[in-house]
Chain A
Amino acid sequence: MIRFTLWRFGQTVIVIAIMSFVIYGLIGLMPGDPIDMMISADPKMTSADAERLRALYGLDKPIYERYLNWAQAALAGDLGYSRLYAQPVLDVMWPALGNTLILLGLTVFFSILIGLPLGMAAALRPYRKLDYTINFLAFAGISTPSFWLALMIIILFSVQLGILPASATVVSSDAGLWEHARAMVLPVLTLTIHGIAVYARHMRSSMIETLRRDYIRTARAKGSSERRVVLKHALRNALIPVVTIVGLEFGHLFSGALVTETIFAYPGMGKLIFDSIMGNDFNMALVALLFATFMTLLGNLLADLGYGWLDPRISYQGKR
């Protein structure tokens, strides 16, 4: 188990290292560079000045050399300044990260709370009315574009009914708890509708599969109540693939957060990434993207470890 954890952790570190290089390269391919921006800000600058500045910041060096310089500084804790927010990158990122974790935490909580029982209910009587209804709704949930769902929710709750705010900027201010909570409702709702659909679908198919196993038949044959069969024998086994899915869904979840945060102006990591890419804030975009990658990989890692906790039969000694 410890060996497996270390191996998986090492793997995550390698992926992060590779991704940092890939993202660094991609950001370098975005239009313009920092010197272009200085030129546009200062009309008196000559092309000789620009060359000198390029050399000064090392922008005339080949990409791998620049990357190594950046990585060295980053490992020493110097991640640079954000152009857009005029603050050190990390000072901008920590609050955004906190906000996103709250948003996603609530989303996952409500999605599991509602999605898993729905999936179970569908699986207990498959191919009946209730199952068809839940299945159809789940398909509808995964087929709805998240940005459009957000707009529909705004139209309904903010424009038509006028009961909830369409913007969540208040979250970064020091308004009261009540205002915060009100601002959170619509973003969480948007993400949760999708989450419920995803979890319900996976729970349904996993549960149907589990209920067909021999040990379930045995449990029924020896006279266990249906309730005991489902909750005691089937649930834990059916949850195993679902946990993997939850882990693999972190990337999707974050994509959803990016859309939702941008539309509701919720000050989280997703909006930060979007704004910094759009605003040519290279340092900020680089660090925020890397951190988002790190978060999703960490989610995967935790799901993999949770797998072993749920199912002690899975041995991590074998080859991976």
Chain B
Amino acid sequence: MTARADTATVPATTAEGMLGLAWKRFRHHKIALVSAVVLIVLATASAAAPLIELALGTDANLVNLYLRFAGPSLAHPLGTDELGRDVLVRLLYGGRVSLLVGLTAALASAVLGTMIGLLAGYYGGRLDAFLMRTTDAVIALPLLALLIVLAAIDLRKLGLSEAMIDSENISLYRIIVIVALTGWTTVARLVRGRALTVRERDYVLAAHSQGAGGLRIMLVHILPNVVSPIIVAATLSIGNVILLESVLSFFGLGIQPPIASWGNLLTNAQELIWQAPALVIYPGLMIFMTVISFNFLGDGLQDALDPQAMDRAD
């Protein structure tokens, strides 16, 4: 599959022309279009969580034990949870965190993967062999088990300051770092594959003979050629990151309360399945909708940006 993508040449068109073509192809992927709309709605609603909170006249953290497990009503469109808090508003606040973590961690892994892939592909030789064997090894590891260990690490033993560890957002930073440390492999492989072929091109030789250094060649001449697959892979990885965050938070190892995330909204769920199954269903549905939308969006972007890799017969 890679071999085919490697040998195909990118048609030389202007930037606008390329984007226009990509948009034309993207438009044909109906599910990807729908997914993009779903994601925009979800992101907007999550971003507007404080406004919606205000409009409903509730407080996301307001405990009201007289109103536990209330059914849907005007004041609480999705009912209330085991402490009488509004489910909808908490879902939206959870969405802010889950989406933020998903986007940031996917971006961080993509950057890390691009750097590793560029180094391996451009310099080749032993560095390439070392980096790629490392990538193979990381791909083969039982990831979740190791993530749990990483999430359980005592940051004091790493020499971080008390002030940092006690800060409310530490669980956010921690999960982003953990995911980035393990999620770079796909992008690294893709970038390395492309870089290997691009570095043999004449214009790279020309740049080299004009005295351009390795860094300049990698960033100016090779990177633009690998942007499409990076965007596709990064989009597809957002879904995986959200899944990882949710499972770690579900086990109490990711985002820590009082910050809500879709994963930790489900932490108590297993005890609640007998009395309030709806509470278990909503956060999972949000995760599912978001992840499947990112996956379809990535699929659509692949067709649009990277048509050589497309499996379409026509």
Contact call A151/B269, Cβ cutoff below 8 A: yes
Which residues 24-68 of B have a CB within 8 angstroms of A? Answer: 31
A208 to chain B: which residues have CB within 8 Å? 311, 313
B239 to chain A: which residues have CB within 8 Å? 143
Contact call B292/A139, Cβ cutoff below 8 A: yes
CA distance A152 to B273 in the complex (A): 9
Contact call B144/A139, Cβ cutoff below 8 A: no
B273 to chain A: which residues have CB within 8 Å? 151, 154-155, 159
A140 to chain B: which residues have CB within 8 Å? 288, 292
Task: Kindly provide the distance from the CB of B135 to the nearest chain A CB, expressed in whole angstroms.
Answer: 12
| Number of residues on chain A facing chain B (CB within 8 A) | 57
Contact call B152/A277, Cβ cutoff below 8 A: yes
Contact call B154/A30, Cβ cutoff below 8 A: yes
Stretch in contact with the other chain, from B88-96, B217-225, B277-285 = B277-285
A126 to chain B: which residues have CB within 8 Å? 312-313
A300 is an interface residue with CB less than 8 A from chain B: yes
A258 to chain B: which residues have CB within 8 Å? 142, 144-145, 148
Contact call B143/A255, Cβ cutoff below 8 A: yes
CA distance A251 to B130 in the complex (A): 21
Interface size, B (range): 35 or more
CB closest residue in chain B, given A301: B140
Contact call B158/A300, Cβ cutoff below 8 A: no
B146 is an interface residue with CB less than 8 A from chain A: yes
Task: Kindly provide the distance from the CB of B291 to the nearest chain A CB, expressed in whole angstroms.
Answer: 4
- How many A-B pairs with Cβ below 8 Å? 142
Which residues 11-58 of A have a CB within 8 angstroms of B? Answer: 11, 15, 18-19, 23, 26-32
Contact call A273/B148, Cβ cutoff below 8 A: yes
CB closest residue in chain B, given A292: B142
B209 is an interface residue with CB less than 8 A from chain A: no
User: Assuming A11-B133, A144-B288, A152-B284, is B247 touching A292 (CB within 8 A)?
Assistant: no
B210 is an interface residue with CB less than 8 A from chain A: no
Partner of A145, one of B142, B150, B287: B287
A250 is an interface residue with CB less than 8 A from chain B: yes
Contact call B158/A148, Cβ cutoff below 8 A: no
Contact call B144/A259, Cβ cutoff below 8 A: yes
CA distance A267 to B226 in the complex (A): 46
A241 to chain B: which residues have CB within 8 Å? 1
Task: Kindly provide the distance from the CB of A151 to the nearest chain B CB, expressed in whole angstroms.
Answer: 5
Task: Kindly provide the distance from the CB of B41 to the nearest chain A CB, expressed in whole angstroms.
Answer: 17
CA distance A22 to B313 in the complex (A): 46
User: Assuming A145-B287, A209-B1, is B153 touching A255 (CB within 8 A)?
Assistant: no
Partner of B144, one of A19, A31, A154, A255: A255
B1 to chain A: which residues have CB within 8 Å? 209, 241
A296 is an interface residue with CB less than 8 A from chain B: yes
User: Assuming A143-B295, A145-B243, is B266 touching A26 (CB within 8 A)?
Assistant: no
Interface string of A111-149 (1 = CB under 8 A from B): 000000000000000110000000010011011111110
Interface string of A46-74 (1 = CB under 8 A from B): 00000000000000000000000000000
Contact call B152/A273, Cβ cutoff below 8 A: no
Which of A23, A32, A143, A154 has the largest number of chain B CB atoms within 10 A?
A: A143
User: Assuming A155-B273, A212-B313, A250-B140, is B288 touching A255 (CB within 8 A)?
Assistant: no
A295 to chain B: which residues have CB within 8 Å? 142
A154 to chain B: which residues have CB within 8 Å? 273
A293 is an interface residue with CB less than 8 A from chain B: yes
User: Assuming A126-B313, A274-B148, is B270 touching A296 (CB within 8 A)?
Assistant: no
Contact call B152/A151, Cβ cutoff below 8 A: no
Contact call A159/B250, Cβ cutoff below 8 A: no
User: Assuming A273-B148, A289-B149, is B280 touching A263 (CB within 8 A)?
Assistant: no
CA distance A296 to B138 in the complex (A): 11
A29 to chain B: which residues have CB within 8 Å? 153-154, 157-158
A187 is an interface residue with CB less than 8 A from chain B: no
B312 to chain A: which residues have CB within 8 Å? 126-127
Contact call B144/A148, Cβ cutoff below 8 A: no
Contact call A293/B142, Cβ cutoff below 8 A: yes
B281 to chain A: which residues have CB within 8 Å? 152, 155
Partner of B266, one of A30, A32, A139, A151: A151
CA distance A154 to B243 in the complex (A): 20
Contact call B149/A27, Cβ cutoff below 8 A: yes
Which residues 93-143 of B have a CB within 8 angstroms of A? Answer: 133, 137, 139-143
Interface string of A252-285 (1 = CB under 8 A from B): 1011001100110000001001100110000001
* 14 A-B pairs in the complex with CB atoms less than 8 angstroms apart: A19-B141, A26-B150, A28-B157, A127-B314, A139-B295, A139-B299, A142-B295, A143-B243, A145-B250, A159-B274, A254-B142, A255-B143, A255-B145, A285-B149
Given A143-B288, A151-B270, 16 more pairs with CB closer than 8 A: A15-B140, A31-B154, A31-B157, A144-B291, A145-B247, A145-B284, A146-B247, A147-B247, A148-B246, A159-B273, A159-B277, A209-B311, A273-B145, A278-B152, A289-B142, A293-B141
> Which residues of A are in contact with B by a Cβ distance under 8 Å?
11, 15, 18-19, 23, 26-32, 126-127, 136, 139-140, 142-148, 151-152, 154-155, 159, 205, 208-209, 212, 241, 248, 250-252, 254-255, 258-259, 262-263, 270, 273-274, 277-278, 285, 289, 292-293, 295-297, 300
